[in-house]
Amino acid sequence: MALSPRSAAPAEGARAPDPLAPPPRVFVEKAKNALRLAAVDRAAARRGLAPGLTLADARARLPDLAVVDHDPVADAAFLETVADDCDRWTPLVALDAPDGLVLDITGCAHLFGGEAAMRVRLLAHLHRHGLGAGAVVAGTPDAARALVRAGRGGIVAPGGEARAVAPLPVLRLGVDEAVVTGLSRAGLKTIGDLAERPATPLAARFGAELLTRLNRTLGHEDIRIVPRRPLPAAIAERRFAEPIARAEDIEATLALLVDDLALMLEARGEGGRAFEAAFFRADGAVRRLTIETARPSRDGAALARLWHEKIEALADPIDPGFGFDLVRLAVLRAEPLTPAQVSLDGRAVEEEEVAALIDRLAVRLGRERVLRVLMRDTHDPGRASALIPAAQASATSPTLSLALPADLPPRPLSLFDPPQPIEALAEVPDGPPLRFRWRRVVHEVARAEGPERIAPEWWRLPEGTALPATRDYYRVENREGRRFWLFRAGLYGRESGEPRWFLHGLFP
């Protein structure tokens, strides 16, 4: 199904304009070195104005015009808002810029009484919100788009796309203006004219893209739309004849939807990792909330508690307006979940409790604020550890390693990032330091252990990047008993440049 804005056309013998009505409004933009009409309202369209007309000509016809600058960014944002509201009809909604939408209603029409009833309800819904639109249901997105932008409406019978689009001008194929001009000069002005011609000469003269668009518009070739939001793994929803607004009703509805999703996921042997609740207001606004879990889950009671905490922790409470007439719960990401054997040492229970704690903290504080340390299998201190969201570091992920390499010497818990330069004096060029100066204080070295030589990981560097200097690390202790982790960057006589000393960390 394709949607496009629809304005009233001027009619002969129309009634005289109401003197108390607001003046016709037009939106203008600069094009071809002149201010031209980008869009007109219904009053301006009834009086003969159309997009593309220069503002000077429009004012000559209607001196009392109300002129507004065209704002494409605001138009795009408004189209996104309308697309959000159209998610109530199908989860597969694509933008058809600058002012259209394409809905894939395969498998959805029967929920609304069939294609005809669904089309009527959708247009009535948009009309209640002050939007004039046309809608065409066809077998392919391109056919529906061409028909609705030509001002047609209704439902095209299966297999009838070629007959329906034949009278349309070739402009409705969506090809470049140069191609349209060339086709017109060749006497091919309608899609039906193109359909009667051999394909090979058309492709040779106007390119293969013309044939591709022609076949899709005629219904000979179908291509699925690319929805603006990914298709969820599972969806459960509740519609209300009377919109709901109380927080208790909202949470009770979410609990019912969680139970519905749990049954779906159990039948598939899966658990959800990311969930989204969408609240559709009666006035067309949509509010979405998401939660994530550290492990795949289909525990209805635990998920209901997470939703309760999510709603309670909102800095901006959900505004129901005139109420929500649709609440939808979707599983954005699912993973296999099979019953696990509980170990006798109780570790499985502990892991489940830790995962539940991570879920609650992430819901209250935010996923990016609940972190855990990830230890990487590398000798490079700069890459040895990283902070990642705790929900991401699940036990089921095979790419995470939470153990240090077994052959690593002791390292300090606190590191300087970046390492701090120091002045050091060594007995021999490649030997440990005898003393060093750090922050204007001289430290006499009483004991030293090392070196631990760490070469750069050349395979991780982009091609053509110079190799960093080799590092020799030393664990040293001064006469006061304080312990430091130093390194010398560079090798005497074997690497270019003068070796330099740095302090990388402090031992407790």
**Confidence tier at 222 by pLDDT (50, 70, 90):** confident
d(CA 156, CA 142): 13
Q: Are residues 185 and 136 both part of a single domain?
A: yes
Read out DSSP for 357-414? HHHHHHHHH-GGGSEEEEE-S-S-TTTSEEEEETTTS-TT-TT---S--TTPPP--SE
Q: Are residues 211 and 277 both part of a single domain?
A: no
In a domain, 201, yes or no: yes
**Roughly what angle, to the nearest 10 degrees, separates helices 141-149 and 208-218?**
90
Q: Contact 429/472 with Cβ under 8 angstroms? A: no
Q: Does residue 378 have a pLDDT over 90?
A: no
Residues 40-49, mean pLDDT to the nearest whole number: 88
**Confidence tier at 278 by pLDDT (50, 70, 90):** very high
| The pLDDT of residue 409 | 75
Domain extent, residue 468, equals: 414-507
195-209, 396-410, 442-456: least confidently modelled range: 396-410
| The pLDDT of residue 14 | 47
Percent of the chain past pLDDT 70, that is, above it, reads 92
Q: What is the 3-state secondary structure (H, E, C) of 197-230?
A: CCHHHHHHHHCHHHHHHHHHHHCCCCCCCCCCCC
Phi, psi torsion values for 109, nearest 5 degrees: -60, -35
Read out DSSP for 256-324? HHHHHHHHHHHHHTEEEEEEEEEEEETTS-EEEEEEEEEEEE--HHHHHHHHHHHHHT-SS----TT-E
| The pLDDT of residue 465 | 82
| CA 76 from centroid of its chain's CA atoms | 16
Phi, psi torsion values for 225, nearest 5 degrees: -75, 160
Tens-digit pLDDT profile for residues 461-478: 888 888 889 999 999 999
Percent of the chain past pLDDT 90, that is, above it, reads 50
88-102, 285-299, 307-321: least confidently modelled range: 307-321
48-52, 70-74, 169-173, 374-378: least confidently modelled range: 374-378
Q: Are residues 83 and 214 both part of a single domain?
A: yes
Average pLDDT of the residues of the chain: 86
322-336, 373-387, 420-434, 464-478: least confidently modelled range: 373-387
> Which of 94, 319, 397 shows the shortest CA–CA distance to 226?
94
In a domain, 376, yes or no: no
Q: Are residues 252 and 347 both part of a single domain?
A: yes
| The pLDDT of residue 393 | 59
Region of 43 (left: φ > 0; alpha: ψ -120 to 50; beta: rest) is alpha
In a domain, 460, yes or no: yes
Exposure string (b/e) for 223-253, b if CB count within 10 Å is 16 or more? eebebebeebbbbbbbeeeebbbeeebbeeb
d(CA 215, CA 200): 13
Q: Contact 66/22 with Cβ under 8 angstroms? A: yes
**Confidence tier at 404 by pLDDT (50, 70, 90):** low
Q: Are residues 181 and 247 both part of a single domain?
A: no
- Which amino acid makes up residue 295? R
| The pLDDT of residue 405 | 55
Q: Contact 394/294 with Cβ under 8 angstroms? A: yes
Q: Are residues 151 and 114 both part of a single domain?
A: yes
* Domain's final residue, options 218, 243, 274: 218
In a domain, 323, yes or no: yes
d(CA 278, CA 281): 10
Q: Are residues 179 and 96 both part of a single domain?
A: yes
Number of domains into which the chain is organized: 4
In a domain, 393, yes or no: no
Q: Are residues 99 and 39 both part of a single domain?
A: no
CA angle 485, 454, 474 (to 5 degrees): 25
Strand partners, 330: 235, 276
Stronger pLDDT, 274 or 6, i.e. the higher one = 274
Q: Contact 2/145 with Cβ under 8 angstroms? A: yes
Secondary structure of residue 78 in the 3-state scheme: helix
Which of 157-165's residues contact partners 24+ apart within 8 Å by CB, and which partners? 159/219, 160/219, 161/217, 161/218, 161/219, 162/195, 162/218, 162/219, 162/220, 164/138, 165/191, 165/192, 165/217, 165/218
Q: Tokens standing for 453?
A: 């030589």
In a domain, 277, yes or no: yes
In a domain, 388, yes or no: no
Q: Are residues 345 and 458 both part of a single domain?
A: no
Q: Does residue 13 have a pLDDT over 50?
A: no
Q: Does residue 242 have a pLDDT over 60?
A: yes
| The pLDDT of residue 366 | 77
> Which of 207, 260, 262 shows the shortest CA–CA distance to 238?
260
* Domain's final residue, options 43, 70, 97: 70
Please name the helix (run of DSSP H) or strand (run of DSSP E) that holds residue 34, with its range, or none: strand 34-40
In a domain, 455, yes or no: yes
> Domain containing 329 — which CATH number?
3.30.1490.100
CA angle 77, 83, 88 (to 5 degrees): 145
Strand partners, 137: 155
8-12, 312-316, 320-324, 488-492: least confidently modelled range: 8-12
